Structure 1
Amino acid sequence: MHTSTTKGLALLIALCTTFGGTDALAEATADWPHFGGDISDTKYSSLDQINAKTIDRLKVIWRAPALDPAVLTENPKLRPSNNYRNAPLVVDGVLYMSNQIGQVEARNPGSGELIWRQSNAVGESTPRRASASRAITLWGSGDAARIVSIRGAYLYLLVAKTGAVVTDFGDNGRVDLREDPKTVFTWNAPAPIVVNDVIVVGGQPIATGTGDINKASLAGDVRGYDAHTGEHLWTFHTIPREGEPGVETWENESWRQGGKTKVWSAFSADEELGYVYLPLSAPSNDYYGVARPGDNLYSDSVVALDARTGKKIWHFQTVHHDLWDYDLPTPPMLADIKVNGKLRKAAIQVTKMGYVFAFDRATGESLFPIIETPVAASTMPGEKASPTQPIPVKPKPFDRQGMNADQLIDFTPELRAEAVKIMNRYVHGPMYTAPSVAGGADGKLGTLYLPGWVGGANWTGAALDPQTGVIYVPSVTVPWIGRDNYRRPAEDKLYLDGPQGLPLVKPPYGRITAIDMNSGEHLWMVPNGDGPRDHPLLKDLDLPPLGQAGRAAPLLTKSFLFLGEGSAVGISMPKFSGGNMFRAYDKQTGEVVWEADLGAGTTSPPISYMFEGKQYILVSVGGINHPAELVAMSID
């Protein structure tokens, strides 16, 4: 491993002085050993070769396809997705990644050249539409370093130096994650994590023949496996079973049909405590809860487990009886911060709703008050919405909430009048207004709600500076439609266009918010990108940047916040989403200090690492007609 710079060590010493020497999260390192930079998911690197004096020299050094070209030669009918969402790892001078079909590849981090690629298991073929994992995991070091990954229905353990399977792990190097022959294992990239030699796995087994993940008959239980042998150690039931605490929150024994309530993104962990933190999803189905009355634990909950035993330490449910698909899309960020002058071990959870929840990661105690607040009842026949929802007093929301006339586009009186007409076709109201019947007696087309189920924040998460306790949250502002017939033709969108095809609400449509978690106060907010200000109806109005609703992931360094614009190739992307620009923002003010056109929108979280004495920024890009590729930048 390369050593940190003298400047980085000085910063670390200053940090330890400030925070009592307990926070190792900001330790200068040449590597990027975890999906979120560190096991605490801060997305932070203390490397500082790219700084205010050198940023003008930052440029693209190399580009490489996100799949070894030999795979396409070997499989000419293969159709890999351009929505490539993997964040590579860089450790001891090697870059490890999940390629576009989920195989692990090792590459040279200074050129992108292939070192090795994972082979198919015996009898395994290359599926035509396989996809990348958002993350893989490194366990161990040196000759004993291992890569942990999930591909298809299997958990793999590979030798990091060669890519060979570790034959004494599981069944010849892999563990079958299907619970029995009557199920399959489906997942949206639940990155495994290793905590004190235990591999923790999310995802969801689905009963064969259901054909619909939202009506799955099996819950997304979280499981622990011995990292040495692959032995199954424990299972945590994300939907409690008979006799378990929380089962009473599934009234009418609705826990028996269960479904979802899974980890579909990633985990974070505190290795010193031995705890792993679960961001759990909504229950099935996402928008209609008649068949599952009650609060439905542990859906939409942050859950802390003892990684050795799977025992629950604490939990907090952020949404009761979810009707909006407001699941937790990203793991909590962990850092030691001062709240009211007292150093606290914090777990900071950003949400699709625009709220930030902050907890003591050891005890689950809330670091700022949370108030159970009355919300409106549902008008859906048979629906029993929760009468209250938990609202944090601090920080204030980082994105707009609720639908009313004050939210609507108002660039011109004509556009505003048309926006009012569009909004009034739908039920609308404050935050947590429930979905409604489309085409009912009131003539409404359903419920218009904001933020929509894409957020607020989404799987791209936020970044946390462990030196200052400031978080940087990218978010989007797009209304969504909640109604009873949520399973509709593909051409019938869930999001709603506004007048003349413009957005329905005021800008910014994508933003970045800086929040001091020591005080809970907002520091600044800026739009992310230009948005539709060049639209024919707007181009003569001389508007400032309007932001765009792409899903962009942040990278935080000692000097800058790096952020792209997302890509239109992503899932459920509204109009005017994504863009080709990649930018460096001043962390103190939000001012853009550098930008570059990468030729396509960013699809993965950026990372930073040092290789042969040079700091790199690496991000993946892709578009509807632009193949997925890795783009590496450094100073010349």
Structure 2
Amino acid sequence: MFGHDHTNRNFSALSSIDRSNVARLRPAWMFQTGITGYFQAQPVMVDGTLYLSTTQNNVAALDAKSGRVLWTYTHKARTEKIFGPPSNRGVAVSGGLVFQATMDGRVIALDAKTGKVVWDHEAVRPEEGESETASGLAQQLGGKPVQGSSRLGFKMPPLVADGLVIVGVSGAGYGLHVEDEKGGLDGGSVVGIEGGYGRRGWLAAYDAKTGAERWRWYVTKADGWEGDFVETTADGVPLHRDVAAEKAAAPANREAWRVGGGSLWMTPAFDPELGLIYLGTGNPAPQNFGLSRPGDNLYTMSLVALDVKTGSLRWYYQQVPHDEWGYDVASPPFLLDLPGKDGAVKAVASASKTGWIYVHDRATGRLIERSAPLIAQKNLFAPPTAEGTVVAPGPLGAVSWPPTAYDAGSGLAYAQVRHGATTYTVKTVPGGPGRPEIRYTETGEAKGEPSFSTLTAVDLAKGGGIAWSVKSASRLAGGTLATAGGLVFSGEEDGHLDAHDVGTGAILWRFQCGAGISGPAITYSLDGKQYVAVAAGGSSYTKASGFGTGDALVVFALPD
């Protein structure tokens, strides 16, 4: 499954490829999907077969030793109106079935031996999130095309647990975006337009044998989503909120939770002993603009624990109440046993866009520790203004959706960290006959601020200090893989896959894969031979940065 197992640690106990021989690593075989771009999936290996989902939700089963194609599944989307680019981040394999959640809102089970469809459940129609006012807004915002209007679909690899296939929707928390002449986002992005443009995010569980829905949990809280109008985060950081203004606006916005956002980006972790799953939730809607959604906006921007059998809430920890910066809890949580005075504490960790790694008691949600800052934070939680407010980190993180690897032996977590700042500017477009005034927050890269990536090791076993941090040549993407061979594999958007020494961060090997790396690598062993596999296809970010897109799964091994 995604993340290797239910702990989501992205750690492998394989050690045949190690610090002493990794420099000899060479391509063993390659598989080209035939569809270029947005290749973010992590492959899954089961019983000698690699299962790989591609952009546009096609699936291939490959002989993991030779790359020979065993079968392929070609997905036929029911609508072209999807959320974002046609990316997919992986499948899950269990009980002879391959499970995939698709961009057009379906959850599908394929026979693992043949690729034939066993069941196909339509969970949501993307057009349910379509805004009826996009064309009018386009005219009012300068006549440019408007896109990104909260269409609903799936990005995450499914979690299979307790006989259930568990997935959550993306696209719920967006406002409207204005395209430039090249089809990109004009001036960064125009988001957070005041009004009901979001949708209500949710996580659902489906019977693994039949596809029937068993339970559904909604991110936005119907009764009391305003919360307590807190003035600091739960760990004591000031939020700089105008609570009086929010409370004054609350009576007119009692129903804001109905379009309150809360996308779910990545696969939950699962503790079978406690019967709990752990997931991160996304930003409230409208994005980056909070006047029409007063209050804390529960349970967006939170690490959440749910009962796996019923979907009922056990506990939550809201990292950013009333978010106005896009700090989704996007990176998949991972489980660990943290040393304590009275023995090991069963814990769950969340690497955040705000620049910290939070570690909680798995059973209660109690915050055990918060790591040292992973970046130089600037004006954290300062609200957007008409003059423009520079805040670091911006909406892409510190740590975004790519997974963080964790080595239980050393207690180190390895995170790809983006260092950079964003300018948040409140804009007003005058109304006219039959048109209301429009207010929104525009985001753009802060000029003159440093922008780079690091691979950073955090010692969670000893209080969360930074063990080491190394700067990369280009932006890091896709997440990390740690192994018992003393290696951390990390991909770059310029196409390099790097192997770092776990003790120092030094690069011991790197290979140019021909297209940006935007998905996590895996490693597996067959007949005593260890392999490393990674998708090289790029993403919207790699394309915008001038690096190419591709369609290849590249598999490496040591020469015989």
* 2:488 alignment partner in structure 1: 562
Distance of aligned partners of 1:247 and 1:139 in 2 relative to their CA distance in 1, 3 Å threshold: farther
Among 370, 381, 384, the residue aligned to 1:432: 381
1:224 paired to 2:205? yes
Aligned partners of 2:127, 2:394: CA distance in 1, in Å?
37
Aligned partners of 1:180, 1:150: CA distance in 2, in Å?
11
* 1:47 alignment partner in structure 2: 14
Among 424, 429, 445, the residue aligned to 1:495: 445
User: In proportion to residue count, which structure has more strand?
Assistant: 2
- In the superposition, the TM-score normalised over structure 1's length comes to 0.70
Aligned partners of 1:180, 1:186: CA distance in 2, in Å?
4
Aligned partners of 1:85, 1:119: CA distance in 2, in Å?
18
- In the superposition, the TM-score normalised over structure 2's length comes to 0.79
* 2:323 alignment partner in structure 1: 322
SS of residue in 1 equivalent to 2:51: strand
* 2:534 alignment partner in structure 1: 619
What are the equivalent positions in structure 2 for 1:206-221 lying under 5 Å apart?
216-221=197-202
| Residues 112-149 of structure 1, C-alpha deviations (whole Å, 9 max, x = no match) | 3321112456x959999972410211122xxx444343
* 2:147 alignment partner in structure 1: none
* 2:457 alignment partner in structure 1: 514
| Residues 532-583 of structure 1, C-alpha deviations (whole Å, 9 max, x = no match) | xxxxxxxxxxxxxxxx43324111000233334422xxxxxxxxxxx23322
* 1:457 alignment partner in structure 2: 399
1:478 paired to 2:420? yes
Q: CA RMSD in A?
A: 3.0
CA contact (8 A) 2:11 2:405 kept: yes
1:282 paired to 2:283? yes
| Residues 278-335 of structure 1, C-alpha deviations (whole Å, 9 max, x = no match) | 2000101221100011111101001100011111111100001001001111121102
* 1:109 alignment partner in structure 2: 64
SS of residue in 2 equivalent to 1:56: helix
Distance of aligned partners of 1:126 and 1:357 in 2 relative to their CA distance in 1, 3 Å threshold: closer
* 2:122 alignment partner in structure 1: 176
SS of residue in 2 equivalent to 1:339: coil
5+ residue gaps, structure 2, are 131-150, 179-190, 230-245, 430-437
Aligned partners of 1:486, 1:550: CA distance in 2, in Å?
35
CA contact (8 A) 1:43 1:556 kept: yes
Distance of aligned partners of 1:274 and 1:160 in 2 relative to their CA distance in 1, 3 Å threshold: same
Task: Specify the code of the residue in structure 1 equivalent to 2:523.
Answer: S
Aligned partners of 2:227, 2:383: CA distance in 1, in Å?
24
* 2:297 alignment partner in structure 1: 296
Task: Specify the code of the residue in structure 2 equivalent to 1:237.
Answer: Y
Task: Specify the code of the residue in structure 2 equivalent to 1:190.
Answer: M
Distance of aligned partners of 1:455 and 1:486 in 2 relative to their CA distance in 1, 3 Å threshold: farther
Alpha-carbon distance, 1:256 to partner: 4.2
Task: Specify the code of the residue in structure 1 equivalent to 2:471.
Answer: N
CA contact (8 A) 1:206 1:216 kept: no
Task: Specify the code of the residue in structure 1 equivalent to 2:25.
Answer: L
Aligned partners of 1:621, 1:120: CA distance in 2, in Å?
21
Higher relative contact order (CA 8 A, sep 6+): 2
CA contact (8 A) 1:138 1:148 kept: no
| Residues 458-513 of structure 1, C-alpha deviations (whole Å, 9 max, x = no match) | 1113110122321111101111111223999xxx9721343xxxxx23x7x21122
* 2:109 alignment partner in structure 1: 157
Distance of aligned partners of 1:467 and 1:115 in 2 relative to their CA distance in 1, 3 Å threshold: same
Distance of aligned partners of 1:98 and 1:321 in 2 relative to their CA distance in 1, 3 Å threshold: same
CA contact (8 A) 2:270 2:276 kept: yes
Aligned partners of 1:245, 1:453: CA distance in 2, in Å?
23
* 2:99 alignment partner in structure 1: 147
* 1:240 alignment partner in structure 2: 221
CA contact (8 A) 2:38 2:85 kept: no
What are the equivalent positions in structure 2 for 1:82-93 lying under 5 Å apart?
82-93=37-48
* 1:528 alignment partner in structure 2: 471
Among 507, 514, 534, the residue aligned to 1:592: 507
SS of residue in 2 equivalent to 1:101: helix
Aligned partners of 2:510, 2:128: CA distance in 1, in Å?
51
| Residues 238-261 of structure 1, C-alpha deviations (whole Å, 9 max, x = no match) | 11114x676676943143442321
Distance of aligned partners of 1:343 and 1:153 in 2 relative to their CA distance in 1, 3 Å threshold: same
